[in-house]
Amino acid sequence: MSETRVHRMPQGSDEWHMIRLGRATSSCFDQIVTPAQRKFSKSSERYAVQLLTEWLLGEPIDVFESPWADRGKELEAEARAWYEMATGNEVETVGFIERTDLLVGASTDGLTEDAEGPGVVEIKVRKAAAHVQAVLESRQNEYAIAGAPQVQGELWVTGAAWCDTVSYNPSLKPVIRRVYPDPEWFQALEESVGVRFMKMLEEGREMLYELGAVPAGRIRPRTLATWEQDITNAYATGQIEAEQADTARQLVLDGQYALAQELIG
């Protein structure tokens, strides 16, 4: 199983936006994998351009949220408290969970655990009509509350044993639908997100470097292959430990080349 790194900060904070820069997030996996057919989506190119632009600028772009989305954030804590009371599961809020081997991550609405093992919680605060529709559909469709790419994406990123999806409206009875890892979805995510989309991002960065479209202080005179060779050599000769080698690789992926060079000497 791939390793993860948990970042604990308020979701929506400046720090949260920065840690997500240039990374594919589970909430946007539907732009990479089609929900119905689990195929590589045509929208992936547009999403890759967005991530590359944010990576270059060093700040998020096109951050717009509707008034109801703001209202949903206000009610999310209330929905989480209801979930804890209804299930008896204590929920830990976190900012962002990233896979250390890929430029991907998830901003789950909570980490929890019960007799079935570690789980994640995905809360959707909805208008009344949308909530009623989710309730009606949830008996037949396990993804009625939250879409398959996002839910399976969170499970794929975090390694959790299950995800409780929660539809909440303060005036109506909430509903919970538990979803488990789906091997077919995991395969689709590995192929489309882990391989094809990561290749798009890597090739995009390489092309931007070749064109000189790189912010000041982030120009690197080496290819990723050369970085890997230098890091491997530093580890083989005892200059750095295995954990430091992994940190150096992550710094390179994040564009922090000066820090990576300082680490490997």
pLDDT value at position 33?
Answer: 98
Predicted local distance difference test score (pLDDT) of residue 223: 66
Q: How far apart are CA 109 and CA 106, in angstroms?
A: 9
Domain membership of residue 78 (yes or no) is yes
Type of residue found at 62: D
List pLDDT tens digits, range 175-227: 999 999 999 999 999 999 999 999 999 999 888 877 777 654 454 556 677 78
Helix, strand or coil, per DSSP, at residue 87: helix
User: Both 231 and 177 in a single domain?
Assistant: no
Could you tell me whether strands 162-168 and 117-125 are parallel, antiparallel, or unpaired per DSSP bridges? parallel
- Residue where one domain finishes, among candidates 142, 170, 187: 187
On the question of pLDDT at 34 being above 80, the answer is yes
Residues 31 and 122 in one domain: yes
Per-chain mean pLDDT for the chain:
89
The percent helix, strand, coil of the chain (3-state, each to 5) is 50, 15, 35
- Asked if residue 198 is part of any domain, the answer here is no
210, part of any domain: no
Quickly count: other Cβ atoms within 10 Å of residue 49's Cβ. 12
Strands 104-106 and 24-25: parallel
In this prediction, residue 1 carries a pLDDT of: 59
pLDDT for residue 257 = 74
**Residue 212 located in a structural domain:** no
Residue 213 lies in a domain: no
Asked if residue 146 and residue 64 are part of one domain, the reply reads yes
Residues 6+ apart with CB under 8 A from 149: 26, 29, 30, 32, 33, 35, 189
pLDDT of residue 191: 98
Residue 50, Cβ density class (10 Å: 0-12 exposed, 13-18 middle, ≥19 buried) = middle
N-term to C-term CA, the chain: 30
Whether residues 228 and 178 fall in one domain? no
Residue 63 has pLDDT above 70, yes or no: no
Calculate mean pLDDT across residues 251-264.
79
Contacts by 97-100, CB closer than 8 A, 24 or more apart? 97/4, 97/5, 97/6, 97/7, 97/157, 97/158, 98/4, 98/5, 98/7, 98/19, 98/23, 98/157, 99/2, 99/3, 99/4, 99/157, 100/2, 100/3, 100/4, 100/5, 100/246, 100/250
Q: Are residues 100 and 177 in the same domain?
A: yes
Q: Examine the domain organization and report whether 157 and 235 are in the same domain.
A: no
Q: Looking at the structure, do residues 32 and 140 belong to the same domain, yes or no?
A: yes
The reply to whether 152 falls in a domain is: yes
Query: Do 117 and 226 reside in the same domain of the chain?
Result: no
Residue 166 lies in a domain: yes
Could you tell me which of 214, 146, 193, 251 has the C-alpha nearest to residue 47? 193
Domain containing 244: what range?
220-265
Q: What is the CA radius of gyration of the chain?
A: 20
Where a domain ends, among 187, 208, 240?
Answer: 187
How confident is the model at residue 261, as a pLDDT? 81
**Is residue 224 domain-shared with residue 181, that is, in the same domain?**
no
Whether residue 214 lies inside any domain: the answer is no
Q: In this structure, are 138 and 245 located in the same domain?
A: no
CATH of the domain at 117: 3.90.320.10
Q: Say yes or no: 61 and 121 in one domain.
A: yes
Task: Return the pLDDT at 95.
Answer: 96
SS3 158: helix
> 54-63, 89-98, 235-244: which range is least confident on average?
54-63
* Whole-number pLDDT of residue 179: 98
Query: What is the total count of domains within the chain?
Result: 2
* Amino acid 70: pLDDT: 64
- Quick check: 174 pLDDT over 60? yes
Say whether both 261 and 147 belong to one domain. Answer: no
